[in-house]
Amino acid sequence: MALLQISEPGQSTNPHEHRLAAGIDLGTTNSLIASVKSGKAEILNDEQGSDTLPSVVRYTANKIIVGTDAKSAAAKDPLNTISSVKRYMGRGLTDIKELGGRRPYEFAEGDSAVPRIRTVAGDVSPIEVSAEILKSLKSRAEAALGDSLTGVVITVPAYFDDAQRQATKDAGKLAGLNVLRLLNEPTAAAVAYGLDKKAEGVIAVYDLGGGTFDISILRLHKGVFEVMATAGDTTLGGDDFDYVIAKWIMQQAGINETEKDISHHQMRRLMRDACAAKETLSNMDSAELNIELDDGSNWSGHLTLDVFNELITLLVQKTLLPCRRALRDAGIDASEIKSVVMVGGSTRVPQVRDKVADFFQQQPLTDINPDTVVSMCAAIQADVLVGNKSGDDLLLLDVIPLSLGLETMGGLVEKVISRNTTIPVARAQDFTTFKDGQTAMSIHALQGERELVSDCRSLGRFTLHDIPSMVAGAARIRITFQVDADGLLSVTAREETTGVESGIEVKPSYGLTDTEIETMLRDSIEHAEDDVTARMLREQQVEAERVLEALQAALADDGGLLNAAERKQIDVAANKLSELSNGNELRAIKDAITELDKAATEFVARRMDGSIKKALAGHNVNEF
């Protein structure tokens, strides 16, 4: 018998006012979509009753196939069947090629920074492949709910950078979805856990999926979910476990060719069988292997849990480094963590659970389904954002994973928003011109923890024109960085005296190197002392340049105030500073600036006297 929904007077949602929303977990291996039905988040199944959709797309001459059928065809049609495309989102062609050996695809050469994969249906980008997965999920939701979706929330790894987040939003737009928000996966898991357990205190969310790893430290208090710190690795996941198993099988089966020479079909079969063995070893002590080789023969063997653990030990240890960093950033010890929530299918691996238990000194929580928890929380958030439910009892406070700043003179980075700042956030800082008469300023937005531009990631550039012509340092230019709830950045620059303004919504070029995100913070720690020294050196070099330019302008105007001996003394000091400013001796540059100041002291005094006399000319002292 059907039950009637009963609400307080005036608080029921009219049918025509109820908007359909969904939460999407766009995963590396599998994707899910959930929606709130009768006040409860539920995973939406396909016509066959399956809740997961394999994140695999196959391109044929006549149609595009998504999901289970595409996955089953991967071994026989590897070049046209794309899986784990999430690893390629927001990356450049050069970076993809570095990963290319891991996936049997052919990438098209071209002028675009966005990589394109060659298929029988034409070249496609990772964004287009992801859009096909999202289209399939959209169709599933609309069939299950009986109407079109008003909006969706898509989850992303916390350590996705601006390019990867923008690529995800672009894929949603291409799929015809109204993307209400991007939600960090670990935050979604913590929300689901908090709502379910009514928890208070500090929680760690260990999220190891098919292609990415995140660790987030959150404080839960009275419905507020505050991310204290986050860290991770966007190129580490269950795919890497499959890969080391595949390499081991190659050695055991006597496949001696280098990976580059292995056929696409063979590599696909190896990765498929390796994944199956990994899943078996989550519950068994041994997995039987029967590998079909290119010559038509078969190799049989078995992989024990002990050997599997040995193969993946370094990979599991690699996930603990970001855990240490996140605890340090949060300013807490592992003993202060109340609970550890496990998210992602790869957390089913026994060694992962054991190592996490040892690190955090407690057994992690595994009673929540690691595959569905993220999409269900996204559905709850989507339901709030479309207006079906008040969000007063739920507040999500996420953070940015890497500092944002801009380039200043000398190739230095001035941080405007520091890492682990809660979003959304807006921060402004005032800057000025470097040269006399400067009428434009180039703004270069960067992301990273290092002191020099060359060591950080470029996000975008724009130019502020029509600055009034003034002496150096007189203009006041306010630059504002704003990060929205999706973690996407916009930058504006405004000259305060005239109100002239310019800005960009940063859509960074796809060109992130394979190891950049995962090494940025580690490098910032390892090179902290060197970075400080390098920054001090560049600042002194910039100061030397400023002093020399100002001196040359002054000599051009009032050089006649000096006799030959005085001019020679200044020229010698200036030449010495010019020569030293190109070197790496910080103390020598400082001393040379001091020497030049001393040599020019009398000249400066005479110029000042001359300026005062000029200002007083024609006036009586009583007027002042």
| Angle subtended at Cα 58 by Cα 116 and Cα 167, rounded to the nearest 5 degrees | 40
pLDDT number for residue 8: 45
Domain with CATH 3.30.420.40 in the chain: 17-237+312-398
Query: Following CA atoms 48, 50, 54, 59 in sequence, which dihedral angle do they give, to the nearest 10 degrees?
Result: 10
Say if CB 413 and CB 520 are below 8 A apart: no
Domain with CATH 2.60.34.10 in the chain: 400-512
Q: Would you say residue 424 has pLDDT above 70?
A: yes
The average pLDDT across 404-425 equals 79
Least confident segment among 166-180, 342-356, 513-527: 513-527
The average pLDDT across 579-586 equals 80
Domain with CATH 1.20.1270.10 in the chain: 529-616
Cα R_g (the chain), whole angstroms:
30
pTM more than 0.75: no
Q: Tokens 């020479």 map to which residue?
A: 261
Q: Would you say residue 323 has pLDDT above 90?
A: yes
CATH node for 400-512: 2.60.34.10
pLDDT number for residue 15: 47
- Strand, helix or coil for residue 191: helix
- Strand, helix or coil for residue 127: helix
pLDDT digits (tens, 9 = 90+) for 339-387: 898 888 889 899 999 999 999 999 998 777 777 888 888 888 888 888 7
Least confident segment among 66-80, 516-530, 610-624: 516-530
CA atoms within 13 A on the CB side of 386: 23
Say if CB 180 and CB 255 are below 8 A apart: no
Tell me if the domain spanning 529-616 has CATH number 3.40.50.20. no
Q: Would you say residue 523 has pLDDT above 60?
A: no
pLDDT digits (tens, 9 = 90+) for 492-501: 888 887 788 7
The mean predicted confidence, pLDDT, of the chain is: 79
Say if CB 289 and CB 277 are below 8 A apart: yes
The average pLDDT across 385-405 equals 67
For residue 218, report the phi and psi dihedrals to the nearest 5 degrees.
Answer: -125, 145
For residue 172, report the phi and psi dihedrals to the nearest 5 degrees.
Answer: -65, -45
pLDDT number for residue 7: 42
Q: Would you say residue 320 has pLDDT above 80?
A: yes
pLDDT digits (tens, 9 = 90+) for 273-302: 999 999 999 889 999 998 888 777 888 888
Provide the annotated active-site residues: 25, 86, 185, 207
- Strand, helix or coil for residue 276: helix
pLDDT digits (tens, 9 = 90+) for 15-67: 445 688 999 999 888 899 999 888 788 899 888 888 899 999 999 988 899 99
pLDDT top residue among 498 and 513: 498
Give the homologous superfamily in CATH for domain 17-237+312-398: ATPase, nucleotide binding domain (3.30.420.40)
Closest CA to 278 of 235, 318, 240, 317: 240
